Chain A
């Protein structure tokens, strides 16, 4: 085949997808940058003008209800707590399931994957029901079986935030478990046999073989998981019913969503979206770079 035909073939493969991406992702991105430097809002929807970095200054200095820095701190707590639990529970269950002499493996794996398979909005609304003060099953279990006082889950800021985290931990561990399970299965069995000959203990095998070989697979998954969790609007928005009580249960993405679609502060929301994007980009670059140094060992 000649070179023109070859180029044509590549274009035929790549262009359709990138046309759609250009329309839905790249153009709106540029448009968002423009809006972030403007005064667009419900009042100025047609006659908006470029006003410079005003909106960015507002993001960092304007006193908002709730406070931007508080929401930011909460977002970091939200992300770190979720990812730690996702990875620890996920890897732990994968290790359990990967033992050779366990019976009923397919059954356990199936049941443990379920939280991932259920649409997120159903998960969120169901847990919201379970956190109900009087009729929710969580309080019923606490009071009837554990002899503990009932908790006002959705009425106070700390408990509502905790409720969102519990929901998201439940929802997120199967993804990490599936990734870890795949990675464990690809570790060559000879490594363990060799270790057995050398008389290595199970703890030694875990820390010297299993965990180091899990690393290169888990790191991209953790990066992706962190970004997805940081940006997970569904759970916080639906479990706390748009930030209840009185807008005290927000992470950055739900805070922006509110600014954009409930308060119609378009310019401000666009600027805040940019800030979130830059934070995540910086994190990903830093994290991938930091962990790449060790990847050569694999």
Chain B
């Protein structure tokens, strides 16, 4: 190995290690907090695993707090949003990719425009609408809002991905006797798997990790989703850091696993969509 290559590799690993450490450190912090016993929460030590580490916070979460209820609520809302989101984006994206129809261009542009709305732009009128319709403190309200929030981005992703699949595939299927709908869901949909995965992940994350909309609509604490529950540990005069840490870890683990398992698709799906979009 010549010295130039050695230097390059050394600097590369050094930089990657430093950035990886920065990326991981705050997460380790939460792990540390979640393992600290209650009487040592305000500690000035920088150890990752505290001396007297215990899982008491995790146990308390399930035993003393309605954590299971929040989790059930969050899972329900997120799954419904994911399912509706994937079906709608897969269908609409397909139409935008394959057919010409009146209002197509305006439709696509208006989807893009919605990304520029500040949160309050829709939240305020929606809040007033939901009060009038009596949908405050219902999941119907939250689920519809989350689905619609994710749709513009996911429809564009799906459309971009379909654009890369040659039209001749459907023509061949049609010749073999498929009708238009069969050609779509039997031939094209399986090929668009990477984009479907991104759509599902994005829809799921929108619902799983949303705080501000939920805070306005779900005021009844029996309906709370995880973000509202977690914030409640923080909002009192004294923050219950141990419980906060433990619940953060439990909330984050499934998302991180999903993310990492799907990170391959993430790279191909996002860039293909944006190059050809």
A interface, CB within 8 angstroms of B: 1, 6-7, 9-10, 12-14, 16-18, 20-21, 23-29, 31-32, 35, 89, 92-93, 96-97, 99, 101-102, 108-123, 125-127, 129-130, 134-135, 137, 140-141, 144, 170, 174, 178-179, 181-183, 185-186, 216-217, 220-221, 224, 227-228, 231, 233-234, 237-238, 252-253, 256-257, 260-261, 266, 269-270, 272-274, 276-277, 280-281, 284
Q: Is the CB of A273 within 8 A of B26?
A: no
Which among B12-20, B49-57, B64-72 touches the partner chain? B12-20
Known: A253-B119, A276-B118. A112 touches B23 (CB 8 A): yes
Residues of A near B120 (CB, < 8 A) are 253, 256-257, 260, 269, 272-273
Give me 9 A-to-B residue pairs in the complex whose CB atoms sit less than 8 angstroms apart, sorted by A's number: A24-B145, A25-B117, A111-B24, A119-B209, A174-B23, A216-B275, A217-B274, A227-B116, A277-B116
Residue B27 interfacial (CB < 8 Å): yes
Among candidates B122, B208, B248, B263, residue contacting A126 with C-beta atoms closer than 8 Å: B248
Interface residue tally on B, bucketed by range: 35 or more
- Measured between alpha carbons, how far is A26 from B96 in the docked complex, in Å? 19
B interface, CB within 8 angstroms of A: 9, 12-13, 15-16, 19-20, 22-27, 29-30, 33, 42-44, 46, 88-89, 91-92, 94-96, 99, 101, 107, 110-111, 113-126, 128-129, 144-145, 147-149, 151-152, 155, 179-181, 205, 208-209, 211-212, 216, 227, 230-231, 234, 239, 241, 244, 248, 251-252, 255-256, 258-260, 263, 266-268, 270-272, 274-275, 277
Among candidates A6, A92, A228, residue contacting B180 with C-beta atoms closer than 8 Å: A6
- Measured between alpha carbons, how far is A228 from B244 in the docked complex, in Å? 27
Q: Is the CB of A135 within 8 A of B259?
A: no
- The minimal Cβ–Cβ distance linking A188 to chain B, given in whole angstroms, is 13
Q: Is the CB of B92 within 8 A of A18?
A: yes
**Closest residue to A258 on the B side, CB-wise?**
B120
- Measured between alpha carbons, how far is A182 from B270 in the docked complex, in Å? 8
Q: Is the CB of A96 within 8 A of B263?
A: no
Residues of A near B125 (CB, < 8 A) are 27-29, 31-32, 35, 270
Q: Is the CB of A237 within 8 A of B248?
A: no
Residues of A near B144 (CB, < 8 A) are 20, 23-24
- B interface, over-half SS: helix
Among candidates B89, B252, B274, residue contacting A221 with C-beta atoms closer than 8 Å: B274
Q: Is the CB of B44 within 8 A of A135?
A: yes
- Measured between alpha carbons, how far is A31 from B92 in the docked complex, in Å? 25
Q: A1-B179, A122-B230 are in contact. List 12 more A-B contacts (CB 8 A).
A: A14-B91, A14-B95, A16-B91, A32-B121, A109-B263, A115-B23, A117-B255, A144-B46, A186-B271, A221-B274, A270-B125, A280-B116
Residues of B near A276 (CB, < 8 A) are 118, 121
Residues of A near B116 (CB, < 8 A) are 227, 231, 277, 280-281, 284
Q: Is the CB of A231 within 8 A of B118?
A: yes
- Measured between alpha carbons, how far is A7 from B101 in the docked complex, in Å? 8
Residues of B near A257 (CB, < 8 A) are 119-120, 212
Among candidates B19, B94, B107, B126, residue contacting A18 with C-beta atoms closer than 8 Å: B107
Rank and list the top 7 A-B pairs by shortest CB-CB distance, nearest first: A182-B271, A119-B209, A24-B148, A117-B259, A28-B125, A13-B95, A280-B116
Q: Is the CB of A14 within 8 A of B23?
A: no
Known: A117-B260, A127-B26. A277 touches B12 (CB 8 A): no
Among candidates A21, A117, A137, A181, residue contacting B148 with C-beta atoms closer than 8 Å: A21
